[in-house]
Amino acid sequence: MMISDNLRLRWWLPKYYWIASLMRYDILKDREATGVLAELLSPIDPPLNDLLKITCSRIAVVFGAGPSLDESISKLTNLGFTEKIRGHCVLFAADGATQALLEYGVVPDVVVTDLDGDISSIIESGREGSIIVVHAHGDNIGKLPAHVEELKKVTRRLVGTTQVEPRYPVMNFGGFTDGDRAAFIADYFGAKAIIMVGMDFGEVVGRRSKPWLKSNVRAWDDKLMKLKIAKELISWLALERGVEIITTGGEVPRGVKKVDLCELRSLVRAD
C-alpha cells in the first residue's frame, strides 16, 4: 500500500539520522548536495508518472553490484529469462550493475546511482531510454555538476534523490545505498513484490561496485558497515512496510525469502 510523502518522510528521517550518526556523516553537507542537485535539475520535470506507470502493480527486479551479479545474469541469460521478464517486470539497476546488464544486452528500465559506478555505462543506459535516478549526498557534491550535465545531453528522463529533506525537483523516497534505495523506490511507486539479484550483503564487494576494481575484494570497514545498514533497511522495508521481498543469493535479511534463480520463471509467470 502506497503512503503519502509526509508519512514516508516521517518514517524515513529517523532512520537516516541513525545512519548519519553511525557513519559520522555531516548532515549539512547532505543538505548542500541536495541544493546543488536541485539547481542542476531545475529545468527538468522528473518523470514520476513514467516511473509509476512502469512500476505500479508489477514485480520489480533489482540488480545489485554484489559478487554474485555476473554469474546470476549469465545464468538468467542462458535460461532465456532476461528476455521473458521484460514484459512482466520492471528492471532496476543499482549503479555498477548497469555495466554488467549492458554487457549482457539488457537495458534496465531504471538506473539508481550516486555516480560511483561506471559513468559511461550509466550515460549509455540513459541514451537507450532508462530513467536515471541520481542521488545527492555530501561525498559526491564534486561529481554532480559534470556528470549531471553529461546525462542531460543524452536524456531528460532524470530524477534527483536525497536522503535528507527533499527540495523539488529532488525527491526523498527513502534508502541509503543504491541497491536498497532502488527497493525503496520500487515500493514507493507501488511494486507488488521486489526480487533482488546480485545483492549479497556479505563481506565481499563485487567488482562492479567501483570502476577501479578488477575483481571481487574483501569489504573495507566503511563499505562493510554500509552493507550491514543496507541489509537492515531491506529488513525494515519487508517487516515494517510489509513489502514482499525475495532474494536469489547471499545473506538473507530478516523478513526476506530466498529462492533459486531457476524459480524466478514461475514467480513472474514469464511463461
User: Residue 270 class from Cβ within 10 Å (0-12 exposed, 13-18 middle, 19+ buried)?
Assistant: middle
CB 198 within 8 A of CB 74: no
Q: Give pTM, 2 decimals.
A: 0.96
Nearest to 27 by CA among 205, 162, 189: 162
CB 150 within 8 A of CB 123: yes
Domain ranges within the chain, ordered by starting residue: 5-268
Would you say the C-alpha torsion 183, 184, 189, 191 has a positive or negative sign? positive
Q: Please give the pLDDT value at position 171.
A: 96
Task: Look up residue 239 and give its three cell numbers.
Answer: 517487516
Residues of the chain with pLDDT under 70: 1-3, 82-86, 269-271
Establish whether the linkage from the previous residue to 145 is cis, with ω within 30° of 0.
no
Nearest to 181 by CA among 149, 133, 146, 127: 133
Q: Please give the pLDDT value at position 264.
A: 79
Backbone angles phi, psi at 61, to 5 degrees: -105, 115
Q: Please give the pLDDT value at position 43.
A: 87
Task: Look up residue 20 and give its three cell numbers.
Answer: 548519519
User: Residue 197 class from Cβ within 10 Å (0-12 exposed, 13-18 middle, 19+ buried)?
Assistant: buried
Q: Please give the pLDDT value at position 269.
A: 63
Q: Position 19: which residue type? A: I
Q: Please give the pLDDT value at position 262.
A: 83
